[in-house]
Amino acid sequence: AQSVSQHNHHVILSEAASLELGCNYSYGGTVNLFWYVQYPGQHLQLLLKYFSGDPLVKGIKGFEAEFIKSKFSFNLRKPSVQWSDTAEYFCAVNTGANNLFFGTGTRLTVIP
Amino acid sequence: DAGVIQSPRHEVTEMGQEVTLRCKPISGHDYLFWYRQTMMRGLELLIYFNNNVPIDDSGMPEDRFSAKMPNASFSTLKIQPSEPRDSAVYFCASSSTESLSYNEQFFGPGTRLTVL
């Protein structure tokens, strides 16, 4: 069965620090990959997605993610975080059917 | 478009009571998903519909849970009888197979359910 692993449950950073959140999935076929963000008290919003082409995907608010097929990974990065990036981040994988498999999420706390 | 609409936003009820959560997907979307979010288990897919037909309900925890989609613009998730362990945030999401955002799901604001 497909699964998505986010090994970092809670990350605490100071403003301006660089961010990398890990995401690994288990599925051998073609995948579509997503990162969603959930700000405190709000619903999930799409941050970025990968379907095909350039494995380095740029999303909103300065976020980017790199798809490394050989490592089954889709890590999220941001060179310099802001206090407003405090949120929970979810990696998700689609394997062809129209449903998504979500990771358990990583809570990011940015200290001003 | 107003996005995915869910009601109520908050629900507090007592154990044993029936709870009905409502969702209006984005107009024109042909997929609708119900998720449950808890601290312990994260975001879990409960059930999803395509063109109002349930496709996969394997995530529905037990018979106390049921979901319907009588038409393309409305779905309900019902819990009867409710139990304290059902306390969670329930999200509805919708997507379209005919848009450039294929497989991107648009989430509603969620219903925070507390069962006392």
Q: Which residue of A has its CA nearest to B5?
A: A43
Mean pLDDT confidence for A49-74:
93
- Interface probe, candidates B44, B103, B106, B107, chain A, greatest A C-beta count within 10 A: B103
Chain A interface includes B45 (CB < 8 A): yes
Structure confidence at residue A31 (pLDDT): 87
CA-based nearest distance B10→chain A, Å? 12
Q: Give the residues across from B24 on adjacent strands.
A: B5
Chain A interface includes B56 (CB < 8 A): yes
Q: Do A100 and B105 touch (CB under 8 A)?
A: yes
In three-state form (DSSP H/G/I as H, E/B as E, the rest C), the secondary structure along chain A is CCEEECCCCEEEEECCCCEEECCEEECCCCCEEEEEEECCCCCEEEEEEECCCCCEEECHHHCEEEEEHHHCEEEEEECCCCHHHCEEEEEEEECCCCCCEECCCEEEEEEC
Chain A interface includes B25 (CB < 8 A): no
Structure confidence by residue, pLDDT tens digits, A70-107? 999 999 999 999 999 999 999 999 887 667 888 989 99
Structure confidence by residue, pLDDT tens digits, B26-76? 999 999 999 999 888 888 899 999 999 999 898 998 899 999 999 999 999
Q: Which residue of B has its CA nearest to A99?
A: B103
Q: Does position A68 have pLDDT exceeding 50, yes or no?
A: yes
Structure confidence at residue B100 (pLDDT): 47
**Cβ-contact A47, A99 below 8 angstroms:** no
Q: Does position A41 have pLDDT exceeding 90, yes or no?
A: no
pLDDT band at B98 (very low <50, low <70, confident <90, very high): low
Please list, in sequence order, all residues whose beta carbon lies within 8 angstroms of the beta carbon of residue A3, skipping any fewer than 6 positions away.
Answer: A25, A26, A101
Structure confidence at residue B99 (pLDDT): 55
CA-based nearest distance B57→chain A, Å? 12
Contact residues, chain A, for B31 at CB < 8 Å: 98
Structure confidence at residue A1 (pLDDT): 61
Chain B interface includes A105 (CB < 8 A): yes
